[in-house]
A and B are shown apart, each in its own frame.
Chain A
């Protein structure tokens, strides 16, 4: 019995992560539009800006940041935080900005498309 429960909960964790996977990169890029900030700053501002809807498991944040670094969309440099703590600040590159523009308009288009499908009546008015 115990074993089954363990399995199920593990599976659920995996699902949530998959849900975030596509959007997390986009949200990070969006946050960095306002200016360079560190990992903790990114996490809190995503949480705040989404009105608490997205709870970023901070552990997922760092793999995502490494991915973006790898793609060359962000750059990282060590700096000092507002609390005078040594932290790594992430900055959007030109390529990252372009990526954000492309991705966000794509995102917008698909959101519109989905809402048209979900609420066809509203569109006609």
Chain B
């Protein structure tokens, strides 16, 4: 044991000086003896010495290998090579910094995108055995719905009891808690079934979680806090459990705290609190529901089959899944409520280990595109660096040839070049890590388009670190492979003579430049494509005027204002707001402009039992003026459309065009059910406004005056502002508080801001791709500059000769520029093919992202190609000018 350790130590220490000296002496003695013997055989002293040396072989080599016996040879060689490589890197500082920067940018961009991708697309829910979880939807072939009614959920749960567990939950919705001295504060609450936590197998951090007894409907309401909310609101105090929390005016008892990081089944919308879903009516919860004629939204939802408002998740232990889906399918296709609507209902289960994420759906395509882009960028950076190293390798040929002459093996040289590559790439990897952390944070901040939303938990974990290490390693191999390969077959004779002009072709360097230009073209073209798509989307007329428009969210329902008080509050509120300085007009509606919010209903025309579907909006009198939606025919709403006056309705152009093509719908009647088909009269036609979705043309819409439905809960206030936005906003807030102090005012946004939120994905993609394209072009410039100036340097004597023979400098300038231009043109041709290939490969992802342009957009490609022509102009001009300025005398003298 001891001697083993001593031997390792001795090996680490190496042979030491004394041994080295002894070995030298010994070898000298050996050669001397050999010499004497040769002389004794009659050779001349000189020949004897020569023969002795010949038989001995390479002295230096023998010494090195003798040393090796005393060391861990590989370790020693490695250290030596690292020292050599470090010296090489330090000697060429400018080049090394450029190389590391190029690679760090490439690696960092990849790390950032991968970190976000990991957080958004790959991370499993922080619950035990997440692979047993499934998200459940039902489809009838015609409709598919991920929302279920509570009674149906209960029937489904009973059908699979014993083998699987089903949990029901709502989408988290804004709720309000009192804030002493101020209007109530908005939090995010999720209503869940009693076995929600049991299905997810979550353990409480503190106290207990909800259980089926909590949905019994008797006793005090129980609320579970998220870990984050508990820390924020209660400072992490253990006394929080058992305390009271008033949510939407309902007194709840805090029964427990969920573990950190737990966000339920919807990881990108972490709620602050969880409440039993039987509290729906008492909390005045009214979000994300679809209902039919048999239902009444004002009565408690939990007993109605006609209101679908719950999402379902299932936990099915391995193997039982097919049986469970079979049983659920059977139930749903024979269900007394569902079956009469369509005979084809079936259950669709999606793997739910990662939960159901709308962010994942929305961002998986842009992220895949971005991943492809950063991958390309890394390739470009690698090609660029390889070209630079190659050019340097050629200029180092002399050094390499000398080292071969001194007995270095090809393997030894390649090993050192590989090591240099690794050292550069690991420095770049470290830089890339820093860039990646920063970039991923930036990216999530940019990606989450609602600034109030909690940012996604993006952390750099072992997976990403491993990814970084592998990428750095690969990059290291990739960039040093070519130079190393060249070193392996380095030509002793021509290298040591350092003849200029003979090897001025650098075929690999040229190939790398062509590849780089090609890849850059793909990036630049896609950046232009995304920018054009964004421009098309932003430039289109949304049908309303977003400038000088203010949106405020007013939650009358959740703040506990009774329906009966609404008819009195609405006019007072609108009057108070409209009276403020700087306010042109104000209106109430259900949805901000623009927003993802919509509601649609079935309508009937007289004489037809067939219903048609259109978006409906209940808006106050001044809505069209406030929103800037033009009235094209007939009239808008007026004060005279009172509750007792004949009911009127205004439709949009799309409505008229779809249901009354070629004729005027003015004066036509319609109704909400066949027996009252003449209830409403169309009195006006307005322009198409993309209230719901900027990406699609507005569908048929109809508007109903709020005065004729005075007890309807509205939730959005629009204000057209004449003066400065900020001061007017404060005035509007004060006006609201003077009428209804208990009313929470949240989400105060200008129309322009909302437009930006709507375009956030496109803007993010466009901005990032612009950045990548610029970087790619910059890299291409650097690479081309390096290669061209290298070629010019190699051809100095040729240029000198040509000048001496009477060539005009302009001719030389032209020839160098032409060289660069040809390289670029070849690259552009190849890039065009690559771009077409990429467009086809990513057709699916692109189709979901692009707007107003196609993936194969020739204009984008043409603009990109034109832009790329800047590269040779920028990169080759300086070296070309250098070629033209060559002094024939100096050039020819260096030749000799």
A-B complex is real = yes
Which positions in A face B, CB cutoff 8 Å?
Answer: 2-4, 6-7, 10, 38-40, 43, 57-60, 62-63, 65-67, 69-70, 81, 83, 85-88
Residues in B neighbouring A87, C-beta threshold 8 A? 26, 29, 33
Q: Could you tell me if A10 and B410 are in contact, using CB atoms closer than 8 angstroms?
A: yes
**Is the CB–CB distance between A63 and B491 below 8 Å?**
no
Q: Which residues of B, 439-490, contact A by the 8 Å Cβ criterion?
A: 488-490
Q: Contacts A3-B492, A4-B489, A87-B33 given; 8 further ones with Cβ under 8 A?
A: A3-B490, A39-B29, A43-B30, A59-B56, A62-B26, A66-B69, A81-B29, A81-B33
Q: With the chains together, A4 CA to B69 CA distance in Å?
A: 31
Residue from B34, B67, B409, B491 in contact with A3 in the complex, judged by beta carbons closer than 8 Å:
B491
Q: How far is the CA of A10 from the CA of B65 in the complex (A)?
A: 17
Chain B interface (Cβ within 8 Å of chain A)?
7, 15, 22-23, 25-27, 29-30, 32-34, 36, 55-59, 61-63, 65-70, 409-410, 488-494
Is A83's CB under 8 angstroms from B36's CB? yes
Known contacts A7-B489, A87-B26, A88-B22; decide if A66 and B36 are in contact (CB<8 Å): no
Residue of B nearest to A88 (CB): B26
In the complex, the 5 A-B pairs of residues with the closest C-beta atoms, listed nearest first: A59-B57, A59-B62, A66-B69, A63-B65, A3-B491
The reply to whether A86 and B69 contact each other, CB–CB distance below 8 Å, is no
Q: Which of A4, A10, A58, A69 contacts B30 (CB 8 A)?
A: A58
| A59 contacts B491, C-beta separation under 8 Å | no
Q: Is A63 within 8 A of B29, CB to CB?
A: no
Across the interface, do B492 and A66 meet the contact criterion of CB distance under 8 Å? no
Tell me the bound Cα distance from A61 to B488 in angstroms.
28
Given contacts A2-B492, A7-B410, A63-B66, contact A86 B29 (CB under 8 A): yes
30 A-B residue contacts at CB 8 Å?
A2-B491, A3-B489, A3-B491, A3-B492, A10-B409, A38-B29, A39-B26, A39-B27, A39-B29, A39-B30, A40-B33, A40-B34, A57-B56, A57-B57, A58-B30, A58-B55, A58-B62, A60-B65, A62-B23, A62-B65, A62-B66, A63-B66, A66-B15, A66-B23, A69-B69, A70-B70, A81-B29, A81-B33, A87-B26, A87-B29
Residues of A within 8 A of B26 (CB): 39, 62, 87-88
Q: Which B residues are in CB contact (< 8 Å) with A83? A: 33, 36
Question: Which of A2, A6, A38, A59: most chain B Cβ within 10 A?
Answer: A59
A51 vs B410: C-alpha distance when bound (angstroms): 35
Task: Output the nearest chain A residue to B491 by Cβ-Cβ distance.
Answer: A3
Note all chain B residues with C-beta closer than 8 A to A43: 30
Give the Cβ gap from B49 to chain A, nearest Cβ, in Å. 14
A83 to B69, CA, bound (A): 30
In the complex the two chains form, is B59's CB within 8 Å of A59's CB?
A: yes
Docked pose: A3 CA to B487 CA in angstroms: 11
Number of A-B contacts (CB under 8 A): 85
What A residues does B68 contact at CB under 8 A?
A: 63
**Chain A, residue nearest B68 (CB):** A63
CA distance A7 to B411 in the complex (A): 11
Complex-state Cα separation, A105 to B179, whole angstroms: 94
Neighbouring B residues of A58 by C-beta, 8 Å: 30, 34, 55-57, 62
- The answer to whether B410 and A59 touch across the interface, beta carbons within 8 angstroms, is no
Q: Which residue of A lies closest to B65 (CB)?
A: A63
Contacts of B488 in A (CB 8 A): 7
Hey, which chain B residues are within 8 Å of A63, CB to CB? 62, 65-66, 68-69
With known contacts A59-B58, A59-B61, A40–B30 Cβ distance under 8 A: yes
Query: Are B29 and A6 in touch, CB under 8 angstroms?
Result: no
CB distance from A42 to the nearest CB of B (A): 10
- In Å, the complex CA distance between A2 and B490 comes to 10
Q: Is the CB of B33 within 8 A of A85?
A: yes
In angstroms, Cα B494 to Cα A7, docked, is 15
The CA-CA distance from A2 to B495 in the complex, in Å, is 12
A66/B70 in contact, CB under 8 A: yes
User: Measured between C-beta atoms, what is the minimum distance from B164 to chain A in Å?
Assistant: 65
Query: Do the beta carbons of B493 and A2 come within 8 Å of each other?
Result: yes
Of B55, B69, B494, the most chain A CB neighbours within 10 A belong to: B69
CB contacts (< 8 Å) of A38 on chain B: these are: 29-30, 33
Name the A residues within 8 Å of B58 (CB-CB).
59
What is the distance, in angstroms, from B574's C-beta to the closest C-beta of chain A?
Answer: 89
Bound Cα distance A70, B61 (Å) = 19
Residue of A nearest to B494 (CB): A2
Contact A67 B409 (CB under 8 A): no
Which residues of chain A are near B57, meaning CB under 8 Å? 57-60
Contacts of B490 in A (CB 8 A): 3
Q: Kindly state the separation between the CA atoms of A57 and B62 in the bound complex, as whole angstroms.
A: 10
Which residue on chain B has the smallest CB distance to residue A87?
A: B29
Return the chain B residue nearest A57 by Cβ: B57
Give the distance to chain A from B781, nearest Cβ to Cβ, in Å: 34
Contacts of A40 in B (CB 8 A): 29-30, 33-34
